[in-house]
């Protein structure tokens, strides 16, 4: 009986620790590089998975759980409003990459 109780306690501790895994969202400028990687990230396509994972790993996270284009209006106070960050008809775009440990 005690071993069953100990086993259940360990299982609940492991389940609780995985629920508290650290997650962080990074907002980065989505700059065209000529390789199309920017479009893969912005559209959330499979081809952006490697870039997102590499970005997370470079910041000591294990994996990228999501990546997508972010409207400047979604980013409070840190990005100039539309028009202020446009030059020669090209506006900066931003990508959110969600990383997990």
Question: In this predicted model, what pLDDT tens digit does every residue of 56-69 receive, in sequence order?
Answer: 999 999 999 999 88
This prediction's pTM: 0.66
Helices and strands, counts by H and E, the chain: 3, 5
Q: What percent of the chain has pLDDT over 70?
A: 60
Taking a C-beta distance cutoff of 8 angstroms, is the pair 55, 62 a contact? no
Taking a C-beta distance cutoff of 8 angstroms, is the pair 24, 98 a contact? yes
Nearest CA to 30 out of 69, 63, 61, 58 is that of 69
């Amino acid at each position: 009986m005690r071993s069953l109780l100990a086993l259940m306690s360990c299982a609940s501790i492991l389940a609780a620790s995985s629920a508290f895994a650290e997650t962080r969202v990074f907002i980065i400028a989505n700059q065209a590089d000529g390789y199309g990687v920017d479009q893969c990230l912005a559209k959330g396509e499979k081809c952006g998975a490697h870039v997102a994972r590499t970005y997370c790993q470079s910041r000591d996270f294990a994996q990228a759980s999501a990546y997508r284009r972010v409207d400047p209006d979604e980013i409070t106070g840190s990005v100039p409003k539309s028009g202020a960050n446009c030059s020669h008809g090209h506006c900066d775009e931003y990508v959110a990459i969600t990383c997990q440990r």
